[in-house]
Structure 1
Amino acid sequence: MEFLDCEDEKITLCGLIQDLGFLFVFNNNKRCIAVSENVSLLTNTPLEKYLDLNIDIILAALTGNDKLDFETIEDSFNTSIFYRFTEKIIINNENYDLSIYRYNDHTYVEAEICNKNQLKPNRLYYYAKYLEENKTDIWKSLTNIIRQIINYDRVMVYQFLEDSSGKVIAESKSENIHSLLGYRYPEFDIPKQARELYTIFLARHTADIDGATHKIISNDRADIDLTKTSIRALSPIHLQYLRNSKVSASASFSIIKDGKLWGLVTCQNNTPLHVDLAQRHLCTFLTQFATNHHISNLLKKDIELQNTMHILEKDLKGDLLINRDTHDVLERFGEKIMHIMNADGLYLKYAKNEKSFGIIPDRNQLQEIHNFIKNDIGIISSNQYKFSSGINQLPGVMAAEILPQSDWKIYLFRKERLIEEIWAGKPEKHLQYDATKKISFPSPRTSFDAWKQITGNTSSPWLKIEISFLERIVFLIQQAIAKRNAEIEQLNKDLVRSNNALDTFSYTLTHDLKNPLSSIKLGAQMLLMKNDIPRELLLKLANNILDASALITEMIDKVHELSKSNSVALNLEILDPKSNILSITEIAKNQYGVDGLDFKMGEIIPIRGERTLIYQLFLNIIGNAVKYSSKQKNPKVEVYSTQSGTMVTYFIVDNGIGMDLQKENNIFDIFQRLSNSSGYDGSGIGLSIVKRIIDRLGADIRVESAVGKGTTFEIIFENAE
């Protein structure tokens, strides 16, 4: 048995027009390909005679003259804002509205009878003014005006809801009929293809549900699409639906919002009554006028809410950026967020803490929500959430993970609303069987008596603007956390640099201070050992002691400076290290007892650096060169420099014990001593200090060495500002 759904009915290919006028259809060659069968009444000419006639000939027959030139009319479709040409004409002493329009490569010529009482155009201003002055309840005002224009018993505004069912939200009616205000209608009362048609063609009507209809006769018996034909007859199922609801005439005007069908102005009359083209055009215009007011009011409310949200976002962002305790900020703003979202409860979850406001579910239900959203990204919302355990008092749930794959979450809750809904008849389908066609199809509803239903386990729906607001709040929190993480990362980097610098100067206290202390010690010993010291030698010893003391003081100051700041600020300047090199070499000779050292100093080019670090750098490298050459038969150390552009390279060359660079581990690692260095004092700190200083100065260092043949250090400085 075949089943025919309401949505399968081809309502635009019904092949019938109402007994309100005549219809002609033309192809691209301007030849008539179809006519309504009643056209024979126009001139007592058989309808077959009209087929294949040129459009201008038929227009002349309809108007009684040849003033209408279709070529001019057709040009207006392409060059102006008008997609339908209309003009008043007289046929057999009756006033008609002539309409010419194009649809799907066909041209339609439609003649529709006018009502006896002609609409007065000058009333448009007053209708618009009435809507403007009564815009507080714009839909009620619209029903009042349209009922006055078409004189129907009932005019309703019918809004489509989220589940595609509908609800009467405004009504104007005669006193002798009962109200349908607030009544609900099921989705299947207006099938999908009907809604699509209402989006394309904004005004439909039937003057008499039991009135005569006329077939469309085409030359090739093809179905003619009547999507935009004003006098198209309604489908049999729709006509029966109107009969069952005790309506004899019907009209409707589409409410289009954002390009979608938002609702209908539905008009019903208990007796047959025609709404002619002029009336429909005016009602369509006023419907759109009211729709624009409705949209404007919604935008105004949205703007007010957005301004409130924006102020909260601004305050939240400011506090998040200033206050490092994100938890504290969120807890202070939690109640404000809850109220602005029209929520009854809010729950904040952190890694090791939580905070709630208002009414929230129990612990098991919170865990259930957590399990539900853990694999989702973004905002999850529902106004009909069903908990599997506990009392289901909060079906309105909106949830978001602040940090993915973490325990940072924000949940909002709304309480259940018990709604008593009144339906126009029980919302259920009944099937009817056609034994002739062997088809089952939905039967139009027969009962429209009030049927009450109490709806529970639902909350007020979450608005798009509310969802968007929570998305922005989550983004602000994520930004603050990311900024905080970036700050922590930077602090860690600064800490590493600080520790490195601290290490450098700490090593100085245990390693590099030995040299100036040795100089002081030697000077003091000579003063004690000799009674008659020549004045020249005395001055020299005193200067050595003073220089060594100054160096120690400077090094200690650096350590103290480091202890008060994140990193040591380097005071870079152009330095001439010649005197330091000579002093360091002399001290090293005395320290390691190298009396016969062959020391050569070539050209010494000034370099850009920090005074203390440069001293330490040469102290460690030259000190090592002297130390590891000290036991050679003819110890040699040479220091010189070269320049290439802004780059200055210093060479420190010795003929000491050397090293195997392929076998040795990184010689710059701390406490790393050479495998052949036994018998030489040292702790493996010197070259580590050298590497840290090189990094701090932005210099570079290279080493060439061979076991038993000595070592060459190259230090490359950048002298550019």
Structure 2
Amino acid sequence: MALNQVLCENEPIHLVGKVQSCGKLIILNESQKIVGLSENWKNYTFIENLSSFLNQPVGDFIEHSVPSQREQFQAFIDGVEPNSDERHVLQIELANQQHIVIAYSVCDDIYIEFEEVGDVHAYSLQLPSFTKKINQAGERVWDALCETIRTIIGYDRVMIYQFLEDHSGQVIAERKRGDIPSYFGFRFPEFDIPKQARALYLQHHVRQVCDSDDPTYAIISNRKDAFDLTTCNIRALSPIHIQYLKNAGAQASMSFSIIVQGKLWGLVACQHSQALHIDYPKRSIGLVLVEFAVNKYLTISSEQDLEFDRRISSLELKLKESMLIKSDVLTALRSSMRELAKLIEADAILVVNKDQLQVHATSLTNHQILELHQFVSNKTDKLVFEDHCFAVNYGDQLPFDLPFAGLLRVDIDLSRSFSIYALRNEVITEEKWAGKPEKIMEYDANHDLFRPSPRQSFAAWRKQIHHTAPQWTADQISALKRIRQLLRESMLRKSEEISGLNQELIQLNNALDTYSYTVSHDLRNPLSSIKLTSQFLQKKLGKDHDLVASGATNILNSVTVMENLMEKIFEFSRAKVYKYEPEWVDVSISIHKIIQENLERYGTHHTDIEIKNLLPLYGEKTLFHQIFANIIGNAIKYSSKSERAHISISSYIRNNTVAYSISDNGIGIDAKELTNIYDVFKRMSNSSGFEGTGVGMAIVKRIIERLNATIEVQSELQKGTVVHLVFPNADIPIEMLPHSIQAG
């Protein structure tokens, strides 16, 4: 059967509806009419029926209570702006006693607190000496804060209570009376200060209980909803909390919120065995000192962060230097693993990259490390995985004993195959708690439910912690993340370098392929001409001197072509990418010469050659010669056995480009083989009986790409082939256009 329970964390402590005896409260609406009065005003006005002032102007009440200061008070109230965070303070005399009046806005209402006050200037004059003491304390800033605040308020005990990650707390500094037990180092459970109480501490930074035995006073009002007393200095506390204080031996208590970077870092918790009211000026000085101490703490923390950052930067520089020298990241990491372990306070470092390992100071075998890596990979998909109780949580799930207790893993790559592990050994610790950290519920028979009961004892309760390691700090985790980023950048840089080298290698290989085959292929035509002319001269020598002269001319022309080609090959051998100065080239001369050479080479003088408008091209004449030599040579060669061989060569301007078309009615190409025509040494299945090496079209393709041109081949078996070439830039100088086009 489910039990009815009232939980501390659900108690609306900001809506308690009562104030302490050390102060009085008036609440006004936006029209400055009274909507709430604390009952203890009876002790000052001697009017039993306080409700008669409800919905009346506040001036009437002030006229009755402090008539001599009505105008001053009215001007004070008029200065409070709705929905403002500003607090207004005024000192007045009420019932022959000096009071501090504090007015502030809560939504559309105005809250006015009256509180007795002593000498306002007594401690403000000593403020510089207090801040100097804190400033000179160095890293013992919290000890100095405890001492100065205890000097001001005179409490038995002042301690710094720091909230830990699990929301429990620990006393990290303390100043106290000599005859009472110390809480220094003691832990307090989370439920001692429930979450709604922590929320109030974040909004209102000073809280006081003057006397836990004093009665509290309700707020007289006609409103149904309770007033929000979150920021009220004299708000009464929860009965559970009052009993908690009594159980701790405190009749008075005070706390100052320690806010660090917008978060509730801790409390200055003060306890006193007797009733004691600390007036507003002293509390204000205490709050100023807390804020001063926080700034000093942040300064020290920043200096420590800078020193830690310097150590990380030094390690990063060492890694960068190592990675510039070493061929791989793992090897570069090896020399820095000891320093990395020292930096993040790890007992061992493991680096796993697939099946490659680098280790520092571990007894795990390579096989065990790989098993651990696979196990953690299956357990989490987080980039950073941290567990200082790893051995406790997962040790029984692994097939070997773990020689460590805590583990921190950072994945380097997204595939999670490359990771860095930091390991920590077991550290047996003893936790000291102020009483056994267990929540006690008591049965309330009147309401048939269970209520939380304040802890009865704060005597030291100790607990030993085994099989765990110290937790990793945010700085240590951040340091490992920075190493991760450095490794990723290094791997990316190496990847880019390799990619760049591959591209250069491809370009060099392409250039080498193209011009190696050029030597063996494109020089064949001029060499054949030399051979034929030489044979002719041998037969006719001495018979006809004119023919000798003509043959010698052919030899010289062919040799000139060879020299030009060899010069370009030499230039390519010295450059990664062939560079040239583009110019307008009249390719018609080269095309006619190529036609004549191939007709003689294949003995096909009966071939019908049709030529239309050979437009100039923008580029390099030798490259154009190689393109047309291969394509026109193929057209004449593969149509040479046709009964009526026909070759057509034409060009035209299209969309700001120059397009060439070379067609023949030769043997054609099977459609299935068209995709392979640019492969080196690839000859078509029907090309047997024709000479060739299968490199001509590969050369054409690579030159076309370097000229930013395009090539398309259409073909059909036994019907012929059409090659379409498209070259960029059609802004041809008019003087280079064929006469037929100029005339048109």
Q: Normalization by structure 1: what TM-score?
A: 0.90
Deviates more, 1:608-617 or 1:14-23: 608-617
- Following the alignment from structure 1 to structure 2, what is the Cα–Cα distance between the partners of residues 525 and 479? 68
- Following the alignment from structure 1 to structure 2, what is the Cα–Cα distance between the partners of residues 666 and 531? 50
Counterpart of 2:630?
620
Counterpart of 1:367?
371
The answer on whether the counterparts of 2:88 and 2:104 sit within 8 Å (CA) in structure 1 is: yes
Matched, 1:135 2:138: yes
The answer on whether the counterparts of 1:17 and 1:231 sit within 8 Å (CA) in structure 2 is: yes
Which of 94, 97, 100 is the matching residue for 1:97?
Answer: 100
Matched, 1:383 2:388: yes
Which of 228, 232, 236 is the matching residue for 1:229?
Answer: 232
Distance 1:299 1:704, change over 3 A: closer
Distance 1:682 1:368, change over 3 A: closer
1:430-468 CA distance string (max 9 Å, x none): 222222222212221111112222223332322223323
Distance 1:101 1:500, change over 3 A: same
Which of 261, 277, 280 is the matching residue for 1:277?
Answer: 280
| Correspondence list, 1:211-610, <5 A | 211-220=214-223, 222-317=225-320, 320=323, 324-359=327-362, 361=364, 363-364=367-368, 367-374=371-378, 375-386=380-391, 387-388=395-396, 389=398, 390-532=400-542, 534-552=544-562, 555=565, 566-569=576-579, 572-596=582-606, 605-610=615-620
The residue type paired with residue 236 of structure 1 is P
Deviates more, 1:517-526 or 1:627-636: 627-636
The answer on whether the counterparts of 2:82 and 2:108 sit within 8 Å (CA) in structure 1 is: no
Deviates more, 1:504-513 or 1:343-352: 504-513
Distance 1:173 1:555, change over 3 A: same
Q: What is the deviation of 1:196?
A: 1.3
The residue type paired with residue 158 of structure 2 is V
1:573-604 CA distance string (max 9 Å, x none): 54444554344333323221234456576665
Distance 1:531 1:648, change over 3 A: same
Deviates more, 1:142-151 or 1:544-553: 544-553
The residue type paired with residue 383 of structure 2 is G
The answer on whether the counterparts of 1:403 and 1:478 sit within 8 Å (CA) in structure 2 is: yes
| Correspondence list, 1:610-649, <5 A | 610-631=620-641, 637=647, 647-649=657-659
1:480-517 CA distance string (max 9 Å, x none): 32333344344444444444443333433443333222
Counterpart of 1:25?
27
SS of the residue corresponding to residue 693 of structure 1 reads helix
Distance 1:712 1:167, change over 3 A: closer
Paired positions, count: 719
The answer on whether the counterparts of 1:349 and 1:355 sit within 8 Å (CA) in structure 2 is: yes
Distance 1:598 1:114, change over 3 A: closer
Deviates more, 1:674-683 or 1:276-285: 674-683
Which of 67, 85, 88 is the matching residue for 2:88?
Answer: 85
Counterpart of 1:150?
153
The answer on whether the counterparts of 1:248 and 1:269 sit within 8 Å (CA) in structure 2 is: yes
| Correspondence list, 1:187-206, <5 A | 187-206=190-209
SS of the residue corresponding to residue 665 of structure 1 reads helix
The answer on whether the counterparts of 1:502 and 1:559 sit within 8 Å (CA) in structure 2 is: no
- Following the alignment from structure 1 to structure 2, what is the Cα–Cα distance between the partners of residues 445 and 678? 103
Q: Percent identity?
A: 36
Distance 1:592 1:267, change over 3 A: same
Counterpart of 1:35?
37
Distance 1:584 1:172, change over 3 A: same
The answer on whether the counterparts of 1:324 and 1:484 sit within 8 Å (CA) in structure 2 is: no
SS of the residue corresponding to residue 2 of structure 1 reads coil
The answer on whether the counterparts of 2:120 and 2:281 sit within 8 Å (CA) in structure 1 is: no
Structure 1 gaps of 5+ residues are none
Q: What is the deviation of 1:155?
A: 0.8
Distance 1:69 1:37, change over 3 A: closer
The residue type paired with residue 349 of structure 2 is L
The answer on whether the counterparts of 2:610 and 2:648 sit within 8 Å (CA) in structure 1 is: yes
1:356-408 CA distance string (max 9 Å, x none): 11346555366235322345141112222222355555333211221222531
Q: What is the deviation of 1:534?
A: 4.1
The answer on whether the counterparts of 1:22 and 1:111 sit within 8 Å (CA) in structure 2 is: yes
Counterpart of 2:742?
none
Which of 101, 111, 131 is the matching residue for 2:114?
Answer: 111
Distance 1:553 1:336, change over 3 A: farther
- Following the alignment from structure 1 to structure 2, what is the Cα–Cα distance between the partners of residues 661 and 202? 89
- Following the alignment from structure 2 to structure 1, what is the Cα–Cα distance between the partners of residues 613 and 546? 29
Q: What is the deviation of 1:427?
A: 1.5
The answer on whether the counterparts of 1:668 and 1:687 sit within 8 Å (CA) in structure 2 is: yes
- Following the alignment from structure 1 to structure 2, what is the Cα–Cα distance between the partners of residues 644 and 440? 92
- Following the alignment from structure 1 to structure 2, what is the Cα–Cα distance between the partners of residues 250 and 663? 94
Counterpart of 2:12?
10
1:105-152 CA distance string (max 9 Å, x none): 332222112247963432222222222222331111111111111111
SS of the residue corresponding to residue 211 of structure 2 reads coil
Structure 2 gaps of 5+ residues are 732-744
- Following the alignment from structure 1 to structure 2, what is the Cα–Cα distance between the partners of residues 214 and 72? 25
The residue type paired with residue 341 of structure 2 is M
Counterpart of 1:160?
163
- Following the alignment from structure 1 to structure 2, what is the Cα–Cα distance between the partners of residues 711 and 205? 101
- Following the alignment from structure 2 to structure 1, what is the Cα–Cα distance between the partners of residues 348 and 10? 46
Q: What is the deviation of 1:156?
A: 0.7
The answer on whether the counterparts of 1:647 and 1:718 sit within 8 Å (CA) in structure 2 is: yes
SS of the residue corresponding to residue 68 of structure 1 reads helix
- Following the alignment from structure 2 to structure 1, what is the Cα–Cα distance between the partners of residues 611 and 634? 16
SS of the residue corresponding to residue 79 of structure 2 reads helix
The answer on whether the counterparts of 1:60 and 1:67 sit within 8 Å (CA) in structure 2 is: no
1:186-237 CA distance string (max 9 Å, x none): 1111122211111111111112211233232222464333222222222221
SS of the residue corresponding to residue 247 of structure 1 reads coil
Q: What is the deviation of 1:632?
A: 5.2
Which of 657, 668, 680 is the matching residue for 2:677?
Answer: 668
Distance 1:382 1:61, change over 3 A: farther
The answer on whether the counterparts of 1:22 and 1:112 sit within 8 Å (CA) in structure 2 is: yes
SS of the residue corresponding to residue 458 of structure 1 reads coil
SS of the residue corresponding to residue 336 of structure 2 reads helix
Counterpart of 2:182?
179
Distance 1:234 1:118, change over 3 A: farther
- Following the alignment from structure 2 to structure 1, what is the Cα–Cα distance between the partners of residues 635 and 474? 76
Deviates more, 1:327-336 or 1:162-171: 327-336
1:172-198 CA distance string (max 9 Å, x none): 112222322112111111122211111
Which of 70, 73, 77 is the matching residue for 2:77?
Answer: 73
The residue type paired with residue 475 of structure 1 is Q
Q: What is the deviation of 1:679?
A: 5.2
SS of the residue corresponding to residue 420 of structure 1 reads strand
Q: What is the deviation of 1:165?
A: 1.2
Distance 1:102 1:392, change over 3 A: farther
The answer on whether the counterparts of 2:330 and 2:358 sit within 8 Å (CA) in structure 1 is: no
1:30-76 CA distance string (max 9 Å, x none): 22222222212212112233322212222333433212354653434
- Following the alignment from structure 1 to structure 2, what is the Cα–Cα distance between the partners of residues 531 and 452? 121
Distance 1:527 1:285, change over 3 A: same
The answer on whether the counterparts of 1:423 and 1:451 sit within 8 Å (CA) in structure 2 is: yes
